[in-house]
A and B are shown apart, each in its own frame.
Chain A
Amino acid sequence: MEGIEEKVPMLKEKALEIRKEILKMLNKAGSGHTGGSLSLAELMAVLYFKYLRVNPSNPENPDRDRLVLSKGHAAPAIYAALGLKGFFDKKELDTLRKIDSILQGHPDMTKTPGVEMTTGSLGQGLSAANGMAISAKLDDRDLKVVAILGDGEVQEGQIWEAAMTASHYKLDNLVGIVDYNGLQIDGKVEDVKDPAPLAEKWRAFGWHAMEIDGHDVSEIDSALNMADREEKRPTMIVARTVKGKGVSFMENNADWHGKGPSDEELEKALKEIDAAFDVLKEGR
């Protein structure tokens, strides 16, 4: 297996690029989900630029890994990653949420190359990921299915139906990730309806579960590697993240759940990210 150390700087850079693309496309769109997209940047970077075996020049390869973004409102995060990866022309990112665009407000697998499942109505993605994982086992395909859930989303009952299905069918080719950023539309997740203790809940449902820092690319990588080694049970990675991560005035602010930045806010935000790029380069 390829070592993570030499890839850390690249992955950190990718995360910053993803952040910039998210902010730019949400500014152009004039609406959309900023906070919960930014919190996924490092996870998307590691998934699309190290872990997932996907190839933009052969997107329909039956042996490809699958990613289901169950928290579909974070579409900008997956669009940014797919655009940077080359699944479509990066210019398309400017058309997010606009008429005739391949980039819908929430993921539509029939419109966007690289999007594996249509999502947006919360709670449904893990079931679909289970179906994909079961199908892979039926066909003896050595592939991984990753499902990304929101911490508010796990309040949906179907998530726990799917949790039982995955452990019942011993889906060790399935990895779930909860983007545990602690905020949902109406405020703190713990105040609205507290899902804690989250990792313990997954364990109680028969999963291998671990908690990590969802902004630490090395931790993300090692958690995914641990999931790969797991046998006979699915793995859930509870990733502690910060909503709005990377932009000081968006961090931990529920107001940024569902709006895009104005021109002025964008400029301010991009400056902060560029400063983070500079720090990265100095560290080299």
Chain B
Amino acid sequence: MSIVSPWKQDFPVYLSHAHPNLCYLDSAATCLTPKHVADAVFHYQCYAHANSHKGLYQLSANVTERVEQARAKVADFIGASSEQNISFNHGTTDAINIVAYSFVEPLLINASSTGDSSNIVISAAEHHANLLPWQRLALQYGAELRVAPLNDEGVINLAELSELLDSNTLILAITHTSNVLGRQNPVEQICRIARSKGVPTLIDGAQAIAKGGINVNAIDCDFYVFSAHKIYGPTGCGVLYAKGQLFDQMRPYQLGGGIIESVTYERSRYVSGPLKFEPGSHNVAAIIGLIEALDYMADISWHDVNQYIDNLAAYMHSALESLPFYQPLLRRNDAGTVNKSSSLVSFQTKKVHCHDVASLLDNEGVAIRAGHHCAQPLHQTLGVNASIRASLGLYNDVSDIDRLIEGLKTAHKMMAL
């Protein structure tokens, strides 16, 4: 394996006047930004900025065209049938809230008015973004929030999930890949089970999107959501995919300019399609940044990047397992294969609290995540209140893993009780 990532030089944060010694192992939280993306955003802000979809002048028309080209590109990237299935928003959290309040809440209102019981199904692996909106709706309308358990390998237990789904289930909202365990759920199979019971599905792709290769038609989900910054794009931009004509069935979530056909003081009529969920001004800079990120990844080859990160992940898992004080959140299965391929790993170190580990690693320039990673209930389920998480991006290399291991050894030597 290459000692130095062939793509590291594309990331200005590592330049000599910035953070040449940074060891960034928190890509599951947010990816660093390649120069190509920063340049595209900078160029747009300086030389091409205007409001999209509203101005009757050339500069605005150019921006509108770029946003609509971006919609088509994102549709192509995730295998959607049409750009009309793609809506831009602020990120994964925003997209989940849109589905909660535009699609599920009207169903709950309808059910509670007729006295029908309802339920919403999630899994034990959800981060707070895919838990709190559902929890609030369930509490507000007296619906049941059902939590599908995980098996020993950290994947949703399909048999138990199947039993939780019934004709009163308004949505099944689950993560594609856990941001704590790094395990990927068999979403095609899960959506097939849900469809057989007439249950709509939302797949939270926040972590899975980083590997590319998503095909929403193959998954056959109703909704798929992800954020641009998990794929080397800017923050403040996310994507909501909705299948078929679902956007037309949904009511707008936030109201304002740009989503109407006509407005009088008495009533308003909204546009159809994805624009209905994009009130106000688009975050055009971030949308352009997302498209540049997709182009960048396509240019350097998804295949090469994934192969590189897979190899690096295997090195990371082996190096961590060689530490006598290493305690992964997920135990090995009989085949000893748990987590081996995941580009993120969450663990504890015996007798040193993870916040102390994080502080000591930070002093060595090693950036990792420590805490509950916005997945507190999952940590409770696993019987811990916090963990350390190391996650890889295409700029990482073997030396980053070696520095992590050295830092962990130092922390253990200094702090262990």
**Do A and B interact?**
no
Q: Which residues of B contact A (CB under 8 A)?
A: none
Q: Which residues of A contact B (CB under 8 A)?
A: none
